[in-house]
Structure 1
Amino acid sequence: MPAPSIRSRAGAPPLGLAVALVLVGIASVQLGAGVAKTLFDEVEPTAIVWLRLATSSLVLVALARPRLRGRTREEWLTVLAFGASLGVMNWAIYQSFSRIPIGVAVTFEFVGPLTLAALGFSRRRDLAWVALAGVGVVLLGAERSGLDPLGVGFALLAGAAWASYILLSARTGRQWPGLDGLAVASVVALVVVTPGLVGVDAGGLADTRILLLGAAVGLLSSVVPYSAELVALRRLPAATFGVLMSLEPAAAALVGLLVVGETLAPAQWLAIGCVVAASIGATRAAGPRQAAPAPD
């Protein structure tokens, strides 16, 4: 989840602490994904997504207490679109997690922000980063063991929603102060996902253990990383933040290995390395105009 565009250095942490906070946010997001995946045998992914969004919505609305009166039609359209992209992104990536390894899913998902960064390139040589990412994707596709095509499709859909989310996040940050836009968008995302519960076996939601773990996923995947990134962005340039966020696929693969017990073939690790390197290069080439915030 990206922090709003707060560039003030008032109360900014030291550089080392800011970097550490971003890394904590990355680890927290992926740990939340790992915990969520361990629940998929008991509860449908859509139900876990709903719990995650419900938790983050409650916390963010309580913190922000957004002002709704006096908003323009443009501001409402922006935050509604932002919330819709947030809901689709969360739903699609969890559908992908349920079918393919977490590290592979997040690597395919990165195609979205990488494409967005590539659109900002002004030099032909920077397209080499796109080619490197393409090599990574080809390597993932070549290793078909445990690679469900539907899972790949959901990851790519999440990536497209992520690219939209990045653009709408910046616009929302300009139109809505503080946490207001993000809080409203989280509620919108919850509303978008709720119809998906129809026809889904959500009986596990009556289990206290599942509810608590689902709430933990919401805190780990949304509230903790957002808070860490909000503080870190007071000190870090957007480009530096984007480079750090490029570590997401590798972090996802490690969590998949350590938390879920997912093993990847050597070619898949190489593919993840290609995409991480391409993301770092693309972020640096695009400069401060583009950063790849973490998905909510």
Structure 2
Amino acid sequence: MRHPEYQYLDLLSQVLENGDERTDRTGVGTRSIFGAMVRFDLSEDTVPILTTKRVYWKTAVKEMLWFLTGGTNIQPLLRENVRIWTDWPLATYRRETGEDIGQDVFEQRILEDDAFAARWGELGPVYGKQWRRWLGSDGKEHDQIADLVRTLRENPASRRMLFHGWNVAELGGMALPPCHMVYQYHVTTDGRLNCLLFQRSADLLLGAPFNYVGATSLQLMLAQQAGLRPGELVWVGGDVHLYLNHLDQAREQMSREPRPLPRMRLLRQAESIDGYRIEDFEVEGYAPHAAIRAEVAV
């Protein structure tokens, strides 16, 4: 059987060989294809943490746990040593104040000064806000995650088990509109929980590997909360692209042979979907190739 990671490596190849090269929002430029799918079987605890480069899976899981809190400020992330969201508020700070502050100094001020964090660490109504506190036209907040867990438990045959973050009325206030924007779930008659994640925009080198891990961790938590077993993760990408300053890194990754995928499991069952911590996740057998460095396009 072909190693499932080749699905990802094939995508890299498709984008490199057949991608449409064009200018993008960041000014860096991309090479992209439109429409892609990969599928990963989670039923034996095997998870898509890529092995052809090191993926910092704890960072991806911590980000997912932060989303579930409904938070929109980077201060809690920095307290967990997660720095992947700093670029956007830092760019805003530099633009609005004219101060050419370094990232380390900016992050330290966010950590030490709550007032500074409240003013400059906010990302706007991004993922967690929409997932947990979607503001409806009726003026009420809607907790999509709580509704999903309830439906998984009470009506698992439903075709309406999904949540999304594309709140048109609030897009303008977001540091970055949602890329991984729709998560839909499906329960088989033998009790397996499947997930389909639609990602409208996929930074294939840096973003997609993190999104695979984040979606997997959420699927494991949801399955446990609903008394189900993990099934299949189906990832669907819209604009799937490589930034032009990532092409050499993509070629390097493609030259590597995949190694056995690791296993992930939860060490305990939390009292609710809100009760999980990074210490609850255990990954075994992860022996990847070396990390590949690349710059984030902001």
**What TM bracket, shorter-length normalisation?**
under 0.3
More strand by share: 2
More helix by share: 1
- The structure whose Rg is larger is 2
TM-score, normalising length: structure 2? 0.27
TM-score, normalising length: structure 1? 0.27
Q: Which has the higher contact order (CA 8 A, sep 6+)?
A: 1
